[in-house]
Structure 1
Amino acid sequence: MNKSALIVIDLQNGLNKVFNFPELVAKINRKIDAYHQANLPVVFMQHVDDELVYGTDSWQIVSGTHRLETDRVFLKYHSDSFYETGLESYLRHQTVNTLDVCGLQTEYCIDTAIRVGHDRGFRMITTSGLNSTFDTDDLTAQQIIKHHEGIWDGSFAEVQAPI
């Protein structure tokens, strides 16, 4: 039997200057609502580091996110959502075999979650445009997103049409 969980990664105040942030939050909220309506697990990964210091406003999950008290929140201290977080154990206990990944940042925590989840035997999916990042000196955020979605699709994940 196929059971999915939505993994919302690093949707935190300190990252609110990424490309297209308000639209990203609105679209992720629609995805969260769909998972809640289907009674499927919704998991939030919350990053902790020198810029997203535990307990600070920057560290907090963005207000207005449709997180319920029953949704699981895991803290992570690395770009890997699976590394020393308890996420995999929780998902296995919930008999989840498909992970729907969204959030921040495309080339760091989203890319790592998709690749590591794939390597650990989960079916990985993501919706095009439900991840974002910052412009760099060499590439725009849109270029980074398009590049990574192209790599993931068919190799590590199924990239679904935008919502």
Structure 2
Amino acid sequence: MTTLENRPRTALLVVDVQNDVVGGAYRRDDVVANVATLVRRAREQGAPVVWVQHSDEQLAHGSSGWQVVPELSRSAEEPLVEKTYGDAFEGTTLERVLADLGVGRLVLAGAQTDGCIRSTLHGALARGYDATLVSDAHTTEDLSAWGAPSPDLVVAHTNLYWGFQSAPGRAAGTVTTAEVDFTALAAGQATAS
């Protein structure tokens, strides 16, 4: 249902699954395993995989903490988008990369739920993309010491509210890793809940 013309493809967007971003994150190993499953499935089903890596004052570009976790590996032909803002579209090449790939629908996984995931989901929907969140393939660190809810509640709340998002001519929603079928999404047959 994307509003972007001539953009029939669906891509997996892997956001910030980096050593220092997910090192102490809620259900880190389960989430990383689910992201690995999604990457493998996207490749098998011919869907583009686009990788996003964040850097800032605390996360130096090129450092070991900046690297993608060792359980995942980007193949040379898969695009890498480097960012410095929460929304992966802001100040990056992401829109150009997706346009060149003919992508109008995004399936998002990664970190952090209450930061870059939420910002990128909203950024995608506002720019005309369909945006599906994989409910068991995103995580965040515990920021409750600063007044945030516990990570389990952050993840649950994000899954709840994203399941009810919509915009004219665009679809949003959540699916589990097991439910993701890039072939069906590309054909417009899958619905997010």
TM-score past 0.5 threshold: yes
TM-score if structure 1 supplies the norm length?
0.95
Aligned to 2:133: 126
Identity of aligned residues (%): 26
Aligned to 1:151: 161
Give the root-mean-square deviation of aligned CA atoms.
1.3
Aligned to 1:49: 56
Which has the higher Rg, Structure 1 or Structure 2? Answer: 2
Q: Is the 8 A contact 2:11 2:47 kept in 1?
A: yes
Aligned to 2:33: 26
The SS at the match of 1:59 is coil
Separation in structure 2 between the aligned mates of residue 23 and residue 118 of structure 1, nearest angstrom: 27
Q: CA deviation at 1:67?
A: 2.0
Once superposed, which parts of structure 1, at least 4 consecutive aligned residues long, lie more than 6 Å away? none
* Structure 2: gaps spanning 5 or more residues: 1-6, 167-171, 179-193
Separation in structure 2 between the aligned mates of residue 30 and residue 155 of structure 1, nearest angstrom: 25
* Structure 1: gaps spanning 5 or more residues: none
Q: Deviations over 1:136-163 (max 9, x none)?
A: 2342101001111111112152101353
Q: CA deviation at 1:51?
A: 1.7
Q: Is the 8 A contact 1:32 1:66 kept in 2?
A: no
Separation in structure 1 between the aligned mates of residue 151 and residue 177 of structure 2, nearest angstrom: 16
Q: Is the 8 A contact 2:133 2:162 kept in 1?
A: no
Aligned length: 163
Moved more, 130-139 or 69-78: 130-139
Q: Deviations over 1:27-85 (max 9, x none)?
A: 10000001111121101100011121011100111112042111111110110100111
TM-score if structure 2 supplies the norm length?
0.80
